[in-house]
């Protein structure tokens, strides 16, 4: 397995390779000797007799304060190693660090240096604040009273700065959330809860145990070995790396899996345990990460959410397609459709809607409207389907744009049974259009999946007869509150109903 590791070379021992832990454990005498080595500035060609002088220069000339960065981003020794390698590799301007609102350099890929230099051996964890290198005898002889007064003034000033900073950050985040039109525009901080939700093992068990889902991806890859063989594959949102392993088994040349949740560390263990040596796993958000190579022949991802579009991960697939898919490359899956059917299940309606009319003798019907606005995620009984399906959206992933959640479809539901139509049920179909094509459905007629179906209850059930056509309209749009959420409006039988998937 090609793990992102650090290959540090000690120039004092004939290029003997040391790992990070050994290097950081060098005795204090050796550290002192290394810290007195000539040090070249990170942002200009100027060289200094020791790293302390270089640090002073970087702060004074380039306005980059390492001690400030350490406190602001809670950086440890490894974080600084990544920062140094990031600066050297990306040739960034110092203003980018000065204005940083997040530690975008804190990626495993930046643990590997291009060459040895004293910046990488400096003890940043014991770095002192501004003024440490210029202390003089007069300051050291300050009276206890003067020291206390100075520290109190600094604390008051810091408190004022913190208040201003918090207000500024809050204002910027609020402004950002209002202008965001896609998931790609959300800040890492604002989006952290989404990735945290995929750090729990239960959700991965549920997905892996979904045989429709997992078998479909495995079949798409392993039944098309001649197509996959020798190609470079990018697995977006790789989770436990099951798709990366399938791609490797299918004969892929190199596979890169990326995920921003903590599950990636378990995935590394899984890949190692199974002796898969051509899979590289990276922790990070794709939009913020430099990949080992820019273009890939195949991009595979299990990105679909409830009602297909919930969670907005298709935004990331579009980003991957536009930035990392090679010319004539293939997306897997490459096409998805969304459909709805008319549904009539009196028991389900009574359980979730009429229930509020009489709760232990208390009329709670005021709850019905808001309860109905939350679509029910449920496996429904196909026996209660009353109409033919209507396909409301058909997405070609090679051409779809970021406006994909915003569409309207006129409904014409042909009734195949009589009964009380009390809901519309939504589902999706997924297509891998390969030499050996693979398709799976989340329809009530298909084998159950962890996506289930989405039930949109209507407040006034409609009596229907076989052969009757029920007309209406469904509108879907990206939520104004959250780029990962959906708002759905259904007009039917001269009534309008609003729903929120969030």
Cα separation, 36 vs 53, in Å, equals 10
Q: In the predicted model, what is the mean pLDDT of residues 330-348?
A: 97
Q: Which of 123, 9, 106 is nearest to 55 (CA)?
A: 123
Mean of the per-residue pLDDT values of the chain: 83
Give Cα 452 to chain centroid, integer Å.
23
* pLDDT tier for residue 166 given thresholds of 50, 70 and 90: low
Cα separation, 80 vs 78, in Å, equals 5
Say what the pLDDT of residue 164 is. Answer: 57
Query: Residue 261: helix, strand or coil by DSSP?
Result: coil
Cα separation, 132 vs 216, in Å, equals 62
More confident residue, 454 or 26: 454
Instruction: Report, at the CATH architecture level, how domain 335-501 is classified.
Output: Distorted Sandwich (2.70)
Burial 402-412 (b: 16+ CB within 10 A, else e): bebbeeebebe
* pLDDT tier for residue 201 given thresholds of 50, 70 and 90: low
Residue 222 dihedral angles phi and psi, to the nearest 5°:
-75, -25
Q: In the predicted model, what is the mean pLDDT of residues 38-60?
A: 91
Angle at 498 (CA atoms; ends 453, 353), nearest 5 degrees? 65
Name beta bridge partners: 281.
Answer: 257
* Domain 183-302: CATH superfamily, name plus number: Vaccinia Virus protein VP39 (3.40.50.150)
Active site residues per annotation: 302, 311
pLDDT greater than 80 at residue 181: no
Cα separation, 353 vs 278, in Å, equals 53
* Stretch among 113-127, 186-200, 345-359, 424-438 having the lowest mean pLDDT: 186-200
Residue 110, classified by CB atoms within 10 Å of its CB into exposed (0-12), middle (13-18) or buried (19+), is: buried
Q: Where are the domains of the chain?
A: 39-126, 183-302, 335-501
pLDDT greater than 90 at residue 259: yes
Say what the pLDDT of residue 13 is. Answer: 36
| Percentage of residues of the chain with pLDDT beyond 90 | 57
Please tell me whether the peptide bond between 292 and the residue prior to it is cis, using omega within 30 degrees of 0: no
Q: In the predicted model, what is the mean pLDDT of residues 432-460?
A: 96
* Stretch among 94-98, 193-197, 252-256 having the lowest mean pLDDT: 193-197
| DSSP one-letter string for 402-419 | TTTT-EEEEEEEEBSS-E
Q: In the predicted model, what is the mean pLDDT of residues 84-90?
A: 88
Q: In the predicted model, what is the mean pLDDT of residues 87-92?
A: 87
Say what the pLDDT of residue 460 is. Answer: 92
* pLDDT tier for residue 193 given thresholds of 50, 70 and 90: low
pLDDT greater than 60 at residue 158: yes
* pLDDT tier for residue 161 given thresholds of 50, 70 and 90: low
* pLDDT tier for residue 401 given thresholds of 50, 70 and 90: very high
* pLDDT tier for residue 140 given thresholds of 50, 70 and 90: very low
pLDDT digits (tens, 9 = 90+) for 203-222: 779 888 999 999 999 999 99
* pLDDT tier for residue 299 given thresholds of 50, 70 and 90: very high
pLDDT greater than 80 at residue 229: yes
* Stretch among 71-80, 364-373, 386-395 having the lowest mean pLDDT: 71-80
CB neighbour list of residue 363: distance below 8 Å, 6 or more residues apart: 357
Say what the pLDDT of residue 331 is. Answer: 98
| Percentage of residues of the chain with pLDDT beyond 70 | 79
Residue 286 dihedral angles phi and psi, to the nearest 5°:
-50, -40
| Residue 251, number of CB atoms within 10 A of its CB | 17
Q: Which of 461, 468, 455 is nearest to 495 (CA)?
A: 461
pLDDT greater than 60 at residue 108: yes
Radius of gyration of the CA atoms of the chain, in A = 29
Q: In the predicted model, what is the mean pLDDT of residues 105-111?
A: 81
Query: Residue 89: helix, strand or coil by DSSP?
Result: helix
Cα separation, 413 vs 409, in Å, equals 12
């Amino acid at each position: 397995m090609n793990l992102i590791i650090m290959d540090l070379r000690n120039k004092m021992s004939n290029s003997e390779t040391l790992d990070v832990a050994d290097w950081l454990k060098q005795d204090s005498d050796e550290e002192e000797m290394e810290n007195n080595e000539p040090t070249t500035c990170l942002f200009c060609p100027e060289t200094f007799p020791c790293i302390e002088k270089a640090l002073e220069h970087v702060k004074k000339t380039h306005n980059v304060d390492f001690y400030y960065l350490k406190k602001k981003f809670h950086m440890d020794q490894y974080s600084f190693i990544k920062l140094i390698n990031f600066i050297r590799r990306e040739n960034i301007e110092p203003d980018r660090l000065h204005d940083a609102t997040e530690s975008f350099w804190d990626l495993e890929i930046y643990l590997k240096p291009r060459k040895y230099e004293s910046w990488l051996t400096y003890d940043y964890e014991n770095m002192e604040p501004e003024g440490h290198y210029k202390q003089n005898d007069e300051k050291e002889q300050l009276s206890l009273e003067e020291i206390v007064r100075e520290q109190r003034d600094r604390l008051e000033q810091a408190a004022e700065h913190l208040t201003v900073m918090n207000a500024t950050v809050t204002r910027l985040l609020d402004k950002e959330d209002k202008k965001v039109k896609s998931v790609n525009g959300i800040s890492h901080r604002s989006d952290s809860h989404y990735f945290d939700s995929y750090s729990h093992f239960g959700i991965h068990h549920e997905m892996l145990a979904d045989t429709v889902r997992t078998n479909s991806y495995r079949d798409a890859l392993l039944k098309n070995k001649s197509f996959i063989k020798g190609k470079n594959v990018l697995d977006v949102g790789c989770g436990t790396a099951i798709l990366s392993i399938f791609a490797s088994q299918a004969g892929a040349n190199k596979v890169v899996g990326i995920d921003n949740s903590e599950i990636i560390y378990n995935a590394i263990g899984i890949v190692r345990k199974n002796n898969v040596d051509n899979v590289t796993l990276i922790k990070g958000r794709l939009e913020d990460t430099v990949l080992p190579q820019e273009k890939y022949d195949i991009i595979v991802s299990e990105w679909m959410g409830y009602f297909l579009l919930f969670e907005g991960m298709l935004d990331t697939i579009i980003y991957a397609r536009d930035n990392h898919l090679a010319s004539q490359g293939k997306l897997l899956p490459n096409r998805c459709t969304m459909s709805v059917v008319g549904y009539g299940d009196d028991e389900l309606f009574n359980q979730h809607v009429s229930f509020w009319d009489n709760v232990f003798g208390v009329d709670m019907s005021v709850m019905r409207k808001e309860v109905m606005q939350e679509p029910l995620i449920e496996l429904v009984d196909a026996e209660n389907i009353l109409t033919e399906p209507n396909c409301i959206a058909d997405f070609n992933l090679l051409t779809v744009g970021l406006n994909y959640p915003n569409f309207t479809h006129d409904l014409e539901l042909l009734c195949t049974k009589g009964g009380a139509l009390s809901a519309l049920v939504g589902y999706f179909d997924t297509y891998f259009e390969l030499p050996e094509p693979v398709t799976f459905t989340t329809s009530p007629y298909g084998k159950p999946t962890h996506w289930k179906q989405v039930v949109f209850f209507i407040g006034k059930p409609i009596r229907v007869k076989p052969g009757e056509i029920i007309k209406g309209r469904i509108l879907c749009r990206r939520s104004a509150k959250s780029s990962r959420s959906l708002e759905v409006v259904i007009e039917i039988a001269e009534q309008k109903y609003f729903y929120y998937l969030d």
